[in-house]
Amino acid sequence: MLRFSRATFALVCALFFTAPADHARAQGFSARITHGLAMHGAPALPPDFARFPYADPDAKKGGVLKLGAYGAFDNLNPFGVNAGSTAQGLIGPVYESLMARNLDEPFSLYGLVAESIETNEARDFVVFRLNPKARFSDGAPISARDVLFSFNLLKNHGRPQTRAAFGLAAGVTAPDERTVRFDLTGANDRELPLILALMPVFPAHALTEKIFLDNGLSVPLGSGPYKVTQVKPGEKLVLTRDETYWGRDLPSMRGFANFDRVEFLYGRDDNSLFEAFKAGLIDVRMESDPHRWAKAYAFPARERGEVLVEALPLGGPKGMEALAFNTRRDIFGDPRLREALAMMFDFEWINANLFDGLFTRTKSFFDQSELSSAGRPASEAELALLAPFPGAVRADILAGAWAPPVADGSGRDRDIARRALALAEQAGWRMEDGALRRDGHPLSFEIMTQTRDQERIALNYAGQLRRIGVEARVRPVDEVQFQRRRQKFDFDMTFALWQASASPGNEQRNRWSAEAADREGSYNFSGAKNPALDALIAALVAADTRENFVAAARALDRALLSGFYAVPLFHRDSQWVAWRRRIGFPQKLPRFAQPLFDDALETWSLR
């Protein structure tokens, strides 16, 4: 790796690179230097904003926060290819990005390591001006050299979706030690400046390519408000607040990082973590088990008022948790069969008998938001986007009239079974000798599960499928095997979660593009390959107004629903939280955060 002094670096920049404003004028662009950037329109907060709306600038500082973490960890690199097994609490508290996201807006960023951002209407370039106060926790100033180093490291060795996004940049230069310019010519991607603004900044003087690729337990050096001070692999991670943190007075950091120490205590069993919370060994619990939430929180500490519980409303779109069909398998090649199999998922029985009625059936990839197509007929703008792809969206979905079938709650709805068999017959499958067959071969496949809840859901679904002559075998596997097989698409059907944000964009390529279908490790679990999906994703990231963006998102939703790539499951409308009375969170909650709080609960504090 080339190394040169800061003086030499500045001289090289001065000799070879043109100042960004001059370049913009030379190209005839109307560029603006601003304090923030929104995906569409102007940022909601003014240049002199004091704080993010959901942070309390008067929050008490001090104390210790103990959090429970499920599973284990074997590395401290959340940006490498093995990020799934990384310790929690590193992104934000330790590793900072160029700009900070305001979760009270769909997608807007404000100054952090970079104090300003410059781009033009076409967004075919972006310039970041670094804050002169920005420092790594060892005191070294953050320079353009660190940003270039970070970009190249992630472009070449980051996670697949990061490499794909950063690969859209035509080039990157550094006009001086505090300025970095990205050339985005030809990308036609209005989200790309924001993606680059969320890039973490690594210390070029302390990190090497070898250390990054090791994905090991080397203690990271970041610029955030916390340092990693204790590591017990798979058991415990301790973050200690940096009293000399450079950004503590920034508007985007006021009211954040309030505890002196944050401890993550790992447990391989969720029941043991719950018992640890009851005993006072853990301070906060985000509950995910509906039965436990409904039945198990009447323990002594809560009755004494030492523990508080609340279901907090979740804003923004609800994502899609589903059973994904692997359409790379020949048996799942026909969407009519996939729809027939999906019809047999009896949500009403499962919700009432397994989950105390606490879930809502999911009917869109952007459910309960303006981006959802559910209940809405396609607009003229949507029809124009879909016109080149006749047949890509079914008539009832185009009209906004489709929804998952509603069973009678008996667990043996005969009408839905008859409808499913009729649809399967259209796809060439017929009931013969008690089995659904095509060309004499019975329909049989495996459902891969990871958790007990998944296994319970899959077993019930398999029982429903047997009613129409389908053999679905449920195969539980451990966490490592589950992740490995999903990455290699080595499954027939499995559980998948496609989370939604208020501003979907480039991540949709990693989920639904034809390129991602053939790339191991992508989130295109279903193997979707449809030119309409590729075109609609391109329209989504190129949309220059909120209206065009909403139209592209709804059209994409319709195309995905028409493909029946997965069996929609269910979602929660609220986040179930339990915590000890001595701590708490600000009254104002972020409107577009899912989950509501980050791993390290940075807006929480002592009460």
> For 406-417, what is each residue's pLDDT tens digit?
999 999 999 999
Q: What's the distance, CA 411 to chain centroid?
A: 34
Q: Are 278 and 294 within 8 A, CB to CB?
A: no
| DSSP percent split of the chain into helix, strand, coil, nearest 5 | 30, 25, 45
Contact 208, 221 (CB under 8 A): no
What distance in Å separates the CA atoms of residue 251 and residue 267, rounded to the nearest whole number?
36
Count CA within 13 A, CB hemisphere, residue 433.
6
Q: Name the E strands within 367-470.
A: 430-432, 435-438, 441-442, 444-449
* 104 within 8 A of 590, measured Cβ to Cβ: yes
pLDDT at 359: 96
Residues 6+ apart with CB under 8 A from 481: none
Q: How far apart are CA 163 and CA 421, in angstroms?
A: 44
Would you say 200 and 114 are in contact if contact means Cβ atoms under 8 Å apart?
no
pLDDT of residue 586: 97
In which residue are the tokens 């489709």 written? 402
Distance of CA 374 to the CA centre of its chain: 22
| Alpha helices (H) along 409-495 | 414-426, 452-466, 479-487
| Cα→Cα distances 280→64, 262, 270, 285, 598, Å | 13, 15, 15, 11, 21
Our measurement of the distance from residue 534's CA atom to the centroid of its chain's CA atoms, rounded to an integer in Å, reads 20
For 47-91, the pLDDT digits (tens) are 999 999 999 999 999 999 999 998 888 899 999 876 668 899 999
Is residue 423 a contact partner of residue 417, using CB atoms and an 8 Å limit?
A: no
The sheet carrying 471-476 orders its strands as 471-476, 444-449, 493-498, 320-325, 566-568
With contact defined as beta carbons under 8 Å apart, do 250 and 112 qualify? yes
Beta strands in 257-365 (DSSP E): 261-267, 284-287, 307-313, 320-325, 360-361
pLDDT at 81: 79
* 340, amino acid identity: A
Alpha-carbon distance 101 to 107, whole Å? 7
**Exposure on the CB side of residue 298, measured as CA atoms within 13 A:** 3
For residue 427, give the 3-state DSSP assignment. Answer: coil
pLDDT reported for residue 83: 66
* 271: its two tokens: 């029941």
Q: Of 200, 110, 116, give the one whose Cα is nearest residue 162.
A: 200
- pLDDT for position 11: 35
Buried b / exposed e over 315-337, threshold 16 CB at 10 Å, is: bbbbbbbbbbbbbbeebbebbbb
- The confidence score (pLDDT) of residue 30 equals 64
Give DSSP secondary structure letters for 66-134.
Answer: EEEEES---BS-TTSTTGGGBPSS-BTTTBPBSEEE-TTSSSEEEESSEEEEEEETT--EEEEEE-TT-
Backbone φ and ψ of 33, nearest 5°: -95, 120
Nearest alpha carbon to residue 144 among 113, 119, 123 = 113
* Confidence (pLDDT) at 521: 87
DSSP structural state of residue 253:
G
Nearest to 499 by CA among 486, 484, 510: 510
Structural domains in the chain plus CATH codes: 6-57+75-214 (3.40.190.10), 226-315+573-606 (3.40.190.10), 320-571 (3.10.105.10)
CA distance 461 to 567: 11
For 241, the enclosing helix (H) or strand (E) is strand 236-241
Collect the ranges in the chain with pLDDT lower than 50. 1-29
**What separation, in Å, do the N-terminal and C-terminal C-alpha atoms of the chain show?**
49
Q: In this structure, what token pair is assigned to residue 134? A: 């920005």
Do 416 and 405 contact (CB within 8 A), yes or no? yes
DSSP string, 150-162: HHHHHHHHS-HHH
Cα–Cα nearest to 37, from 96, 92, 116, 143: 116
User: 346: Cβ–Cβ under 8 A, 6 or more apart, which residues?
Assistant: 407, 411, 413, 460, 461, 464
Nearby residues of 337 by Cβ (< 8 Å), 6 or more positions away: 331, 423, 424, 427, 429
Amino acid (one-letter) located at 120: N
d(CA 133, CA 127): 18
